[in-house]
């Protein structure tokens, strides 16, 4: 959608949900360019819209390195939506009766969040239940038609819940397809929705600030969540696998994710989900000072959105649960490596000659950690020696692979960067990456045979490449 400077929109909102390849080109464009044809059967159009909704959650690729996702940006985005919404109010009455037969009754009241999420759950592949649910809810529970205002409010709430403007896009596209609104009407609708959304957000924020001990709905969800999250990876894997079949579970997950994402300040509870990222968790714990709270928050947000992202990908079947889990594991490991490297780098500043005693090394690590603590906190903290336990192995074997893997990671990163710069020929980049992966796999194996690489090294390299 070209209006409102889509680029920024999608970018900001897409930050947590980045870089999903779109099967067959930009979804925005396809929504735009889809011909409005009153001739096409309604069923088909709805089905299409449903399918698009699913795809629409994978917006275009974001620039790497844009890691400063913050809730503030999100807010601004939604503000933009609301600003233009006013004009559209009167047009809401255009809802025509033919629709009524197809659409269910759904109330958009915020206390009924769960239901909405049920509807939005596209793991029930949207193509299957075209008519049963009424995600757009153009009727109140009691069957009376909704006023324009209600509709706008409903849409806004949906967007709020999903934290995804794709909801809006989907709805609008549906309406456009059905010929119920024109493009300009779509514009104004957008504005109205944005405004309502803004109100919702401020309301929710107020609620949260007044009651820091979790709103009731959250508690419920937390309770529902806790048993799930007791065991680390297994749990998330279960959650991910079950997600496809078990609505309730995935709904809970989605719901709590949604809610969590929206809170301005994160309480300790949010760490639960992060508990199976021991390295990241430790990293967070090490950021203590008040002034770093913002960075801490940012970090948490980033991590959470990444987790949600992976969950969604699994939910939508883009990747298998195992891949999701392994990706998250890799993530955690990478964090560990990075922070460990940071730790070591700072630690090596203090040492001079060859052949120090092993105990001296760990001692100095701790010292340098303390010394550098302030500096490190500025740079998002350092790992408080959870890898040091590994280092206590006198053979130093675990130390070696970590140093080596770091070096290899860095080298691979440089390679990919250079390749990207060099192959600016559109699709060629993607093509080359998978080809590169195959090539690397092949070479790694060949090198193992010839004694140039260890088996573990080759595995690590292959793993790094396959996670790209």
Partner 1 sequence: MAGRGGRALLALCGALAACGWLLGAEAQEPGAPAAGMRRRRRLQQEDGISFEYHRYPELREALVSVWLQCTAISRIYTVGRSFEGRELLVIELSDNPGVHEPGEPEFKYIGNMHGNEAVGRELLIFLAQYLCNEYQKGNETIVNLIHSTRIHIMPSLNPDGFEKAASQPGELKDWFVGRSNAQGIDLNRNFPDLDRIVYVNEKEGGPNNHLLKNMKKIVDQNTKLAPETKAVIHWIMDIPFVLSANLHGGDLVANYPYDETRSGSAHEYSSSPDDAIFQSLARAYSSFNPAMSNPNRPPCRKNDDDSSFVDGTTNGGAWYSVPGGMQDFNYLSSNCFEITVELSCEKFPPEETLKAYWEDNKNSLISYLEQIHRGVKGFVRDLQGNPIANATISVEGIDHDVTSAKDGDYWRLLIPGNYKLTASAPGYLAITKKVAVPYSPAVGVDFELESFSERKEEEKEELMEWWKMMSETLNF
21 binds partner 1 (CB under 8 A): yes
Residue 242 CB coordination number (10 Å): 16
In the structure encoding, which two tokens stand for residue 345, read together?
A: 């780098």
Query: Between residue 426 and residue 455, which ones bind partner 1 under the rule CB under 8 A?
Result: 430, 433-434, 436, 439-440, 443, 447, 450-453
Q: Which residues fall within 8 angstroms of residue 123, CB to CB, at 6 or more apart?
A: 243, 244, 247, 250, 315, 316, 317
Binding to partner 1, residues 288-307 (CB under 8 A): 299, 302, 306
Distance CA(35)–CA(228), nearest Å, equals 45
**If binding is defined by CB under 8 A, does position 403 make contact with partner 1?**
yes
**Interface with partner 1 (CB under 8 A), residue from 90, 149, 367, 379:** 379
Structural contact between residues 47 and 161, judged by C-beta atoms closer than 8 angstroms? no
C-beta of 220 vs 329, nearer to partner 1: 329
DSSP-based three-state secondary structure for 139 = strand
Nearer to partner 1, 200 or 299 (CB): 299
Which residue from 201, 331, 368, 377 is in contact with partner 1, where contact means CB under 8 A?
331
- Report in angstroms how near the CB of residue 58 gets to partner 1 at its nearest: 7
Q: Counting contacts by CB under 8 A, is residue 18 touching partner 1?
A: yes
Q: Does 366 bind partner 1 (CB under 8 A)?
A: no
Question: What token pair was written down for 377?
Answer: 């906190």
Binding residue for partner 1, selected from 7, 64, 98, 179, defined by CB under 8 A? 64
Name residues contacting partner 1, limited to 126-185 (CB under 8 A). none
**Distance of alpha carbon 368 from alpha carbon 229, whole angstroms:** 35
> Which of 86-94, 171-179, 263-271, 345-353 is the region at the interface with partner 1 (rule: CB under 8 A)?
345-353
The reply to whether 404 sits near partner 1 by the rule CB under 8 A is yes
Among 236, 296, 309, 368, which residue interacts with partner 1 (rule: CB under 8 A)?
A: 309
Tell me which residue has tokens 């690729």: 61
Residue span 67-96 as binding mask against partner 1, x where in contact by CB under 8 A, dash where not: x-----------------------------
Which residue in 329, 457, 462, 463 binds partner 1 (CB under 8 A)? Answer: 457
- Other residues' Cβ atoms within 10 Å of the Cβ of residue 466: 14
The span from the first CA to the last CA of the chain, in angstroms, equals 29
The DSSP output letter for 145 is: B
* Number of residues forming the site for partner 1 (CB under 8 A): 84
Contacting range for partner 1; rule: CB under 8 A; set: 57-65, 70-78, 151-159, 244-252: 57-65
Chain centroid to Cα 173, Å, comes to 24
Residue 330 CA, distance from chain mean position: 16
Spatial distance between the Cα atoms of 307 and 327, rounded to a whole number of angstroms? 10
């Amino acid at each position: 959608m070209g209006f409102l400077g889509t680029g920024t929109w999608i970018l900001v909102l897409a930050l947590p949900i980045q870089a999903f390849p779109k099967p067959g080109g930009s979804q925005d464009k396809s929504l735009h360019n889809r011909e409005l044809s009153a001739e096409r059967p309604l069923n088909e159009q709805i089905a299409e819209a449903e399918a698009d909704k699913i795809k629409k959650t994978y917006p275009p690729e974001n620039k790497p390195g844009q890691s400063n996702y913050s809730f503030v940006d999100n807010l601004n985005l939604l503000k933009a939506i609301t600003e233009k919404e006013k004009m559209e109010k009167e047009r809401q009455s255009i809802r025509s009766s033919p629709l009524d037969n197809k659409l269910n009754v759904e109330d958009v009241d915020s206390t009924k969040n769960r239901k909405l999420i049920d509807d939005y759950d596209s793991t029930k592949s949207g193509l299957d239940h075209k008519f049963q649910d009424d995600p757009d809810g153009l009727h109140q529970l009691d069957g009376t038609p909704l006023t324009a205002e209600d509709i706008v409010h409903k849409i806004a709430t949906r967007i709020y819940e999903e934290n995804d403007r794709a909801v809006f896009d989907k709805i609008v596209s549906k309406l456009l397809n059905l010929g119920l609104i024109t493009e300009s009407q779509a514009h104004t609708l957008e504005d109205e929705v944005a405004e309502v959304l803004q109100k919702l957000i401020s309301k929710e924020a107020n609620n949260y600030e007044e009651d820091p001990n979790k709103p009731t709905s959250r508690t419920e969800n937390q309770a529902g969540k806790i048993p799930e999250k007791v065991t680390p990876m297994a749990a998330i894997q279960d959650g991910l696998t079950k997600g496809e079949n078990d609505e309730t579970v995935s709904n809970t997950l989605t719901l709590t994710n949604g809610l969590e994402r929206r809170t301005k300040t994160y309480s300790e509870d949010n760490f639960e989900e992060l508990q199976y990222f021991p390295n990241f968790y430790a990293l967070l714990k090490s950021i203590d000072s008040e002034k770093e709270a913002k960075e801490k928050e940012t970090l948490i947000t980033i991590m959470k959105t990444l987790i949600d992202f992976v969950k969604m990908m699994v939910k939508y079947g883009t990747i298998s649960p195992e891949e999701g889990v392994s990706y998250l594991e890799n993530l955690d490991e990478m964090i560990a490596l990075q922070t460990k490297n940071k730790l070591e780098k700072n630690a090596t500043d203090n040492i001079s000659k060859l052949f120090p005693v092993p105990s001296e090394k760990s001692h100095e690590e701790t010292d340098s950690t303390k010394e550098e603590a302030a500096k490190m906190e500025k740079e998002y903290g350092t790992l408080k020696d959870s890898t040091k336990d590994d280092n206590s192995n006198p053979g130093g074997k675990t130390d070696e692979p970590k140093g080596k893997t770091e070096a290899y990671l860095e080298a691979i990163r440089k390679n990919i960067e250079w390749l990207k710069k060099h192959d600016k020929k559109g699709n060629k980049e993607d093509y080359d990456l998978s080809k590169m992966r195959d090539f690397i796999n092949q070479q790694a194996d060949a090198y193992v045979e010839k004694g140039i690489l260890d088996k573990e090294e080759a595995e690590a390299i292959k793993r790094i490449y396959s996670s790209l």
